[in-house]
Amino acid sequence: MATAPRSARRPPGAGVKLSFNDPVVRAIFWQIVIVGAVGLVVWWLVGNTVRNLEARRIASGFDYFWREAGLPIGEAMIEYQPSDNYFRALVVGVLNTLRIAVVSIVLATILGTLIGVARLSRNWLVAKLASVYVETLRNLPLLLQLLFWYSVLQSLPPPREALNPLPHVYLFVRGLQMPWPQWTPELGTVLAVMGIGIVASFLVRGWAKRRQMLTGEQFPIGWTAVGLVVALPLAVFVMQGANLPLDVPTLGRFNITGGILITPEFTALLIGLVTYTAAFIAEIVRSGIQAVSHGQTEAAAALGLKRGQALRLVILPQALRVIIPPMTSQYLNVTKNSSLAVAIGYPDIVSIANTILNQTGQAIEGIGTIMAVYLTVSLSISAFMNWYNRRIALRER
């Protein structure tokens, strides 16, 4: 019966005549119209472009990926020389985009959460400062803020007069240069122990939870994790002689060599993206916490739950439901906004693909590459956040 045709369920006398007043007929009609219109537009665009390219004798296809780029790039996370091919240059750009996006997302989440909580503070001054921050940062165009931070960093002194706030740490016009640990087998061991500590913490957490459900006994899982992830690797480090050779920057006549250099382009972009996005995240966190009624806190307190338990077991799970969806769009915004890097010369994917596009003239492929990269990154973020959202929202009603 469930598969009976629609007409069979009509009231007698209504007939089986197809009518434009039938919502099903109407829906199908409009879908056909829309698909047809989109198809026409695409057909026209593609035909036009192909004819134009042929007329201007521009090659098409992705063969140029494997030609020598001859393109200098300011900073790269993998080995790169201008003699490498275009494809490698693009990979450098993608990695730079991912680097700025990931670091910005993490820092903006932390800063935004702190400011959002500060806005709810009972301390008048703290709350006021936080709301001034939010209102200022979120109402100025991001591009302006990036240019501001970049010009601040550009006004730093040349290498000879580099600021020296801490021993071996130099702040000058080409960025922040500081000591960096050299790779040794001992360091490898310490990092391996730390990794094992992280895995072990999760195992202990699972065990503690099962034991609590069975016996009611609680276990100080937070301190155990600190011990496993921080104290244990530290102990191993000390046992191995506390030997950490550093690559230390040295001041030359025109340059500073050694250590690690964080460029002003990266820093300006990072500060700009983090402070700007944190303002939006602060608002999301604030409204998320406020969405949980005060009665929930009171009920938890009346039942004898401690403040931390109430926050973790009652308030946060409810606040997160409200926070996660808008947070997802902020994470997507950070990623997309990182393309403003082109304005201050940070070599992200847009900046590099744009240069390549100018060299090769293959605009369609160039823009297509950028779009494919952003689409992949954005869809991955969306997929992850949707998964997380479902995980916390399923236990709802």
- Give the distance from CA 251 to its chain's centroid: 35
Q: For residues 209-268, which are near other proteins according to CB under 8 A?
A: 212-218
Pick from 279, 276, 270: nearest CA to 112:
279
Half-sphere exposure of 217 (CA within 13 A, CB side): 8
Q: How far is CA 227 from CA 200, 204, 235, 336, in A?
A: 11, 12, 10, 39
CB of 219 to other proteins, least distance (A): 11
Kindly tell me which of 130 and 314 has the beta carbon lying closer to other proteins: 314
341: phi then psi, degrees, rounded to nearest 5? -50, -35
Kindly tell me which of 79 and 217 has the beta carbon lying closer to other proteins: 217
Which listed range, 27-35, 177-185, 246-254, 289-297, lies at the site for other proteins (CB under 8 A)? 289-297
CB of 206 to other proteins, least distance (A): 15
Of 314, 350, 352, 373, which one interacts with other proteins (CB under 8 A)?
314
DSSP 8-state secondary structure symbol assigned to residue 158: P
Other Cβ atoms within 10 Å of 165 Cβ, number: 10
Q: For residues 368-397, which are near other proteins according to CB under 8 A?
A: 395-397
b/e sequence 121-143, b meaning 16+ C-beta within 10 Å: eeeeeeeeebbebbeebbeeebe
Of 21, 79, 304, 387, which one interacts with other proteins (CB under 8 A)?
304
CA distance 180 to 356: 33
b/e sequence 186-202, b meaning 16+ C-beta within 10 Å: bbeebeebbeebeebbe
Q: Answer for the pair 248, 177: CB distance below 8 angstroms, yes or no.
A: no
Kindly tell me which of 10 and 209 has the beta carbon lying closer to other proteins: 209
Kindly tell me which of 122 and 397 has the beta carbon lying closer to other proteins: 397
Of 321, 345, 385, 388, which one interacts with other proteins (CB under 8 A)?
321
**Count of residues binding other proteins (CB under 8 A)?**
28
Which listed range, 55-63, 118-126, 302-310, 368-376, lies at the site for other proteins (CB under 8 A)? 302-310
Kindly tell me which of 284 and 319 has the beta carbon lying closer to other proteins: 319
Beta bridge partners of 260: 178
Kindly tell me which of 222 and 245 has the beta carbon lying closer to other proteins: 222
Q: Answer for the pair 197, 228: CB distance below 8 angstroms, yes or no.
A: yes
Q: Is 299 among the residues that bind other proteins (CB under 8 A)?
A: yes
Q: Is 309 among the residues that bind other proteins (CB under 8 A)?
A: yes
Angle between helices 86-119 and 264-291 (to 10 degrees): 40
Which listed range, 169-177, 260-268, 294-302, 357-365, lies at the site for other proteins (CB under 8 A)? 294-302
Q: Is 21 among the residues that bind other proteins (CB under 8 A)?
A: no
Kindly tell me which of 140 and 291 has the beta carbon lying closer to other proteins: 291
Q: Answer for the pair 176, 267: CB distance below 8 angstroms, yes or no.
A: yes
Structure tokens, 290:
């406020």
Beta bridge partners of 169: 166
Of 303, 371, 379, 383, which one interacts with other proteins (CB under 8 A)?
303
Kindly tell me which of 77 and 303 has the beta carbon lying closer to other proteins: 303
Q: Is 291 among the residues that bind other proteins (CB under 8 A)?
A: no
For residue 354, the one-letter residue type is: N
- Give the distance from CA 298 to its chain's centroid: 36
CB of 390 to other proteins, least distance (A): 14
Beta bridge partners of 256: 251
Kindly tell me which of 180 and 219 has the beta carbon lying closer to other proteins: 219
Structure tokens, 87:
């494809």
CA distance 259 to 246: 8
CB of 258 to other proteins, least distance (A): 53
Which listed range, 6-14, 146-154, 239-247, 314-322, lies at the site for other proteins (CB under 8 A)? 314-322
Kindly tell me which of 198 and 301 has the beta carbon lying closer to other proteins: 301
Tell me which residues touch other proteins (CB under 8 A). Answer: 212-218, 293, 295-296, 298-306, 309, 313-314, 317-318, 321, 395-397
